[in-house]
Amino acid sequence: LAKTTQPISMDSYEGQEVNITCSHNNIATNDYITWYQQFPSQGPRFIIQGYKTKVTNEVASLFIPADRKSSTLSLPRVSLSDTAVYYCLVGGYNAGNNRKLIWGLGTSLAVNP
Amino acid sequence: GAGVSQSPSNKVTEKGKDVELRCDPISGHTALYWYRQSLGQGLEFLIYFQGNSAPDKSGLPSDRFSAERTGGSVSTLTIQRTQQEDSAVYLCASSPQGGDNTEAFFGQGTRLTVV
C-alpha cells in the first residue's frame, strides 16, 4: 500500500493561495490521489481526487506531475474557515481485493487574519 | 437522512464495560467503513463492509472489537471489556461503491471515553 508524506503544518494569511505538496513515491499504477479536509470535532470531508495532470473543482485544484510520485493541492484565496487538517491519500480499486487507504497525520493549515 | 449519522455523539463508559456504536450510512451506499482516530492522529482503519461480501476485518485491533451490518444498511461496532486505550473518536463512512477511488462520506463520529 502506498504511503504518503506531507508537511505537518503550514501557516498562511487570508486571501493567499496555499499549496500543500504530498509525496507518494510508491504509488501504484491503479492508485488515485485523494485529498480530504477535517475540521475539529468533525469527520473528514472529500475535497478533490485525481489520477494524473490537473483536476479543478469549485474549491481546489490538484496538480499531478507525469511521474505521479507527488501531488499538490492548491487552495485559492484562503479564508479563516479553511483552517483545518488536510489529508493526502493514495489508493485504487483492486477487483476482488478490498484495499484500505492509509491515513497519515495530515497537514494542519492555519489561516491567519 | 442526507448524510451519515452516528450515535451516540459522545459516550463515557467505565473500564471493563461493553459499548455499542451505531452508524446509519447514506441510503443506497454499498460500502461502509469504520475508523478510529486518537487525539492528534490520522485515521486508523478498523473494518470495511461491501455489499454482501465478507467484511474486511483486518484492521480490528483485538478480538474485543466486532462489527456487523444488518440488511446492508445500519452497522454496529461493539467493543467488549473496554480499556482506557480504546478512548478515541470512532468514525463511520459510506460510499456508493467499493473502490477506494470513490468519495467516502463521513459521519460526525462518536467520541468514546473510557474512565
CATH architecture entry for A9-112: Sandwich (2.60)
Task: Select from B42, B44, B103 the Cβ nearest to the Cβ of A49.
Answer: B103
- How does pLDDT run across A50-79, given as a tens digit for each residue? 999 999 999 999 999 999 999 999 999 999
Provide, as residue numbers in chain B, all residues whose Cβ is less than 8 Å from the Cβ of A46: 103-105
Here the cell at position B97 is 461503491
Question: Closest to B108 (Cβ–Cβ): which among A42, A46, A92?
Answer: A42
B90 to chain A, any CB pair closer than 8 A? The answer is no
Q: For A3-7, B83-87, B96-100, B101-105, which range has the lowest pLDDT when averaged over its residues?
A: B96-100
B5-96 sits in which CATH class?
mainly beta
Q: Taking residues B42-52, report their average pLDDT.
A: 88
> Looking at the DSSP assignment, which residues form a beta bridge with residue A35?
A48, A88
Q: What is the pLDDT of residue A17?
A: 97
- The CA-atom distances, in angstroms, between A65 and each of A54, A70, B101 are 8, 7, 19
What one-letter code names the amino acid at B88? A
Domain ranges of chain A: 9-112
| Domain spans, chain B | 5-96
Facing residue for B106 by CB, picked from A32, A44, A100:
A44
Contact indicator for A104, A7 with CB cutoff of 8 Å: no
Whether the pLDDT of residue B101 is over 90: the answer is no
The percent of residues above 70 in pLDDT, for chain B, comes to 95
* Closest chain A residue to the Cα of B9, Cα to Cα: A41
- A17-37 pLDDT per residue, tens: 999 999 999 888 888 888 999
Chain A residues lying within 8 Å of B33, measured CB to CB? 100
| Contacts with B, A 51-90, CB within 8 Å | 87
Task: Report the pLDDT averaged over residues B11-39.
Answer: 94
Query: How far is CA A16 from each of CA A8, A60, A81, rounded to the nearest angstrom?
Result: 19, 13, 13
Residue A7 pLDDT exceeds 80: yes
Q: Rounded to whole angstroms, how far apart are CA atoms A53 and A68?
A: 9
Residue B76, judged by CB atoms within 10 A of its CB (0-12, 13-18, 19+), counts as: middle
pLDDT-derived band at A99, boundaries 50, 70, 90: low
Assess A50–B contact: CB distance below 8 Å, yes or no: no
Tell me which range, A45-49, B93-97, B110-114, is most confidently predicted by mean pLDDT.
B110-114
Contact A46 B35 (CB under 8 A): no
The confidence band for A2, taking pLDDT boundaries of 50, 70 and 90, is low
Residue A23 CB neighbours (<10 A):
14
| pLDDT confidence of residue B70 | 85
